[in-house]
Structure 1
């Protein structure tokens, strides 16, 4: 089961990553495929045909037929322990069936046993957790800035340039913060699991493509848009 689950997850992430990477190639003859990939997006400014573009668009995740991000991502992060959890639950159910409810041992929760693993965390886990919460703080701030723009807008179709926090350096800081979050998880995992790497690469490829489209939209929309801002990677892209 372990090999089949891990193999399927890795194949799923590769299948999700490849179309995004191909659509990112700067070739004119790839325009149709680029539009097809963007067509999987259901919300956000990058959908050029939409009349409801909003400066508070949060995420752009392609709705791949066989890969659901919110299901596959947690599975990827715990794919190594999933078989053990499955066996534990299966044995518990079997024991309940054989012994019956009245003969089952009473469940007791020991807070000390729960906190011991946290005390024994290694340096990778501690550094990864610090990176994760650093990204989470900035993501929360950027979402608050985007939310305040909606509250201050006098007309529904009026757009303004967001400022503050990481908006000083990139157009999509909430995407950048999302990348930082997953980088923290990658560091916490020790960087030795290929499945976690594929998950991280998917997140980066997906959000960079979305951020590039958002950045182009901002530059077309505002003539006075700050020239020092990059799309998502500070001072680089």
Structure 2
């Protein structure tokens, strides 16, 4: 399948992902992830968006966000990665590509599907065996959602409010959910969406939003799939 066009429009939620060029650990060195969060805050101030969740791994990042009316996911992600690339090279004394040229940004349905993706994002460090408890991972929205640490980058959203009547109740419920094993069907669904770029949500919603945004499935190319699509 060829590349899908970037979906645009107001009131759209995206799961944005990008990897280091050649899967390099561009966020691995000390201080690099903190620097990236600073660039994320500056990008958010310049090109407003609501941020519902994030996780910075050593060689890639996940963002769950909704651009403000009139903003585009392409502008936001380009601004973020360009800013980080400049600071990275200045700090490391390097040059060349830091991030893969084309990021991924499948559209996400609100409601339960948004929470499935947020759970997937915040459990990343546990699946990668970096920590046993997601609350222990510094560069993730779970430190706020699960442990109650203040995070000025994050915005509220209706699905969070519906997890409980009080903030402690919501945090406790979310901690249990993220610490538990996520169903294979959910993992496969999120991963398939990331690989293909297709919207993630209920089948009827996917059909409607694909038509609205002009996302059309292209004929599959012959030949062996690329290694990246097999992972």
Larger Rg computed on CA atoms: 1
Which is richer in strand?
2
TM-score by length of 2: 0.24
